């Protein structure tokens, strides 16, 4: 259920493991319609839950095992794209995150120190001084930053559509415009008919709350993005990103950007409101005030953009579980499987999910099936109005914390108080 990355990767690896399987993918719209086709194009080793959180539910070694598996996803996705002839504009430039005030610089140093306490070395995450950061990203106010090689920039829709074609070539059937209205063990009902199967995989991510009985399983939070026209060489000389690094800064309310293969700047962020009752609607994909704020943030960060224009703007929902921990699993008694809750870090995580689900469904006991996110069950979210009040208050609090830190340079008390609300 769902022809986004999770569903497509799962179908791909199932057929790779056993070409005789009959695999059907059901999609409410078109393959890649959701977050898979319209994200910010970061294929990153980031996992939404921290190593500390993972170790609390497993062990230190198992948490590091999941981190290592995430790092391997970049190589695997590139390998599949080459093998299947998928041109997704992949560039392995890594991620540079600038620290642009004293509070951000303190968090950058703390992040690297924490990585070292887990045995993660310079090849994994390193601290940059102002000069080294500016060599990669010529943002305003840079005091330093962090860099990891474990991220590739790509074109998300090209990956999604190319993967869909590869899945069909291997024998799967993708039924688009086939919205699921009911799921139950070994049976899925759509508006166009029903499908029976030994295993049913729920791969619906930000649209999960639309399914019966799953309104509080995850919350759909909107992330919005803008893109410029192709920028001239002189502008890129003023911005940097010569290796097509993905980038952001160490603020609380996440922003993210990349340089595309055709030299556009894509820049996105959080800040759009959460909608009552976990509603997902096409009109929520656009919020003009949020688009304006995102573009103003990009220009403030990179003044060379001032003379250029936004030519595209879009958005969509991502899924956040109550404990901010993505999960994958299979209930063997019912044949029901699931994966999701990526909190916006799904481009690479979905690949790991697809390989893991394929192993679980085919009964292959592998290192992937023993990773600590397998079988994890997140608690449900609070009922309304608590959900609406808490999430929107948290978003506003983090925006206020960023303004406070820009003004004072000191770590925000607001952020510390709001952190439990936001994972």
Tell me how far apart the alpha carbons of residues 77 and 300 are, in angstroms, rounded to a whole number.
34
What one-character DSSP code corresponds to residue 232?
P
Give domain status of residue 65, yes or no: yes
- Taking the whole predicted model, whether its pTM rises above 0.95 is answered as yes
Quick one: pLDDT at residue 414?
A: 87
Contact assessment for residue 140 and residue 303, using Cβ atoms and an 8 Å cutoff: yes
Q: Is residue 107 part of a domain?
A: no
The string of DSSP codes covering 248-288 is: EES-SS-EEEEE-TTS-EEEEE--PPPPGGG---GGGG--H
Distance in angstroms (rounded) separating the CA atoms of residues 215 and 211: 7
CATH of the domain at 12: 3.50.50.60
Q: Tell me the C-alpha distance between 242 and 236, whole Å.
A: 8
Is 419 a domain residue? yes
Which pLDDT band, with edges at 50, 70 and 90, does 420 fall under?
A: low
Predicted confidence band of residue 130 (pLDDT cuts 50, 70, 90): very high
Could you tell me what percent of the chain has a pLDDT over 70? Answer: 99
Same structural domain for residues 306 and 420? no
Pair (281, 211) in one structural domain = yes
Is position 105 within any domain? no
401 and 358 share a domain? Answer: no
pLDDT of residue 423: 57
Give me the chain's average pLDDT, please: 96
Residue 247 in 3-state DSSP? strand
Instruction: State residue 422's pLDDT score.
Output: 59
Position 324 scores a pLDDT of: 95
The confidence score (pLDDT) of residue 415 equals 87
Angle at 280 between CA 274 and CA 283, to 5 degrees: 90
363 and 387 inside one domain: no
Residue 130 counted as domain residue: no
Number of domains composing the chain = 2
Determine the average pLDDT of the residues in 344-368. Answer: 98
The verdict on 304 and 391 lying in the same domain is no
Asked if 372 and 402 sit in the same domain, the reply is no
406 pLDDT more than 90: yes
Q: How much of the chain exceeds pLDDT 90, in percent?
A: 96
Residue 318, in any domain of the structure: yes
375 and 405 inside one domain? no
Residues 203 and 342 occupy one common structural domain: yes
Do 52 and 192 sit in the same domain of this protein? yes
Q: Is residue 136 part of a domain?
A: no
180 lies in some domain:
yes
User: Are 261 and 365 in a shared domain?
Assistant: yes
On whether both 179 and 155 belong to a single domain, the answer is yes
Same structural domain, 204 and 330: yes
Domain that holds residue 412: 382-423
């Amino acid at each position: 259920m769902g022809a986004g990355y999770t569903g497509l990767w799962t179908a791909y690896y199932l057929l790779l493991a056993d070409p005789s399987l009959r695999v059907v993918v059901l999609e409410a719209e078109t393959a890649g319609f959701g977050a898979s086709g319209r994200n910010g194009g970061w294929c990153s080793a980031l996992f939404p839950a921290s190593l500390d959180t993972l170790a609390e539910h497993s062990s230190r070694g198992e948490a590091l095992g999941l981190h290592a598996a995430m790092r391997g996803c970049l190589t695997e996705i590139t390998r599949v794209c080459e093998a299947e002839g998928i041109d997704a504009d992949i560039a392995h430039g890594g991620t540079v995150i600038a620290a642009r005030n004293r509070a951000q610089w303190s968090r950058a140093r703390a992040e690297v120190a924490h990585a070292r306490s887990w045995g993660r070395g310079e090849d994994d995450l390193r601290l940059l001084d102002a000069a080294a950061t500016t060599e990669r990203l010529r943002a305003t106010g840079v005091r330093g930053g962090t860099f990891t090689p474990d991220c590739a920039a790509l074109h998300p829709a090209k990956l999604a559509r190319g993967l869909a074609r590869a899945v069909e070539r291997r024998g799967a059937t993708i039924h688009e415009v086939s919205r699921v209205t009911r799921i139950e063990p070994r049976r899925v009902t759509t508006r166009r008919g029903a499908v029976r199967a030994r295993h049913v995989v729920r791969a619906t991510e930000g649209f999960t709350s639309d399914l019966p009985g799953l309104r509080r399983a995850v919350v759909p939070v909107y992330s919005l993005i803008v893109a410029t026209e192709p920028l001239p060489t002189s502008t890129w000389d003023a911005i940097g990103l010569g290796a097509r690094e993905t980038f952001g800064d160490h603020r609380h309310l996440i922003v993210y950007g990349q340089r595309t293969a055709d030299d556009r700047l894509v820049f996105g962020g959080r800040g759009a409101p959460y909608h009552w009752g976990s509603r997902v609607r096409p009109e929520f994909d656009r919020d003009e005030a949020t688009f304006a704020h995102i573009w103003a943030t990009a220009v403030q960060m990179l003044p060379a953009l001032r003379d250029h224009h936004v030519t595209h703007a879009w958005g969509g929902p991502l899924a956040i579980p109550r404990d901010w921990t993505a999960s994958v699993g299979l209930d063997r008694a019912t044949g029901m499987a699931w994966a999701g809750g990526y909190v916006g870090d799904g481009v690479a995580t979905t690949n790991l999910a697809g390989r893991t689900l394929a192993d679980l469904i085919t009964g292959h006991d592998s290192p992937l099936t023993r990773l600590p996110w397998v079988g994890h069950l997140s608690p449900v979210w609070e009922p309304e109005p608590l959900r609406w009040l808490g999430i929107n208050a948290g978003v506003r609090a983090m925006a206020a914390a960023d303004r406070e830190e820009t003004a004072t340079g000191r770590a925000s008390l607001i952020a510390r108080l709001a952190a439990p609300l936001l994972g």
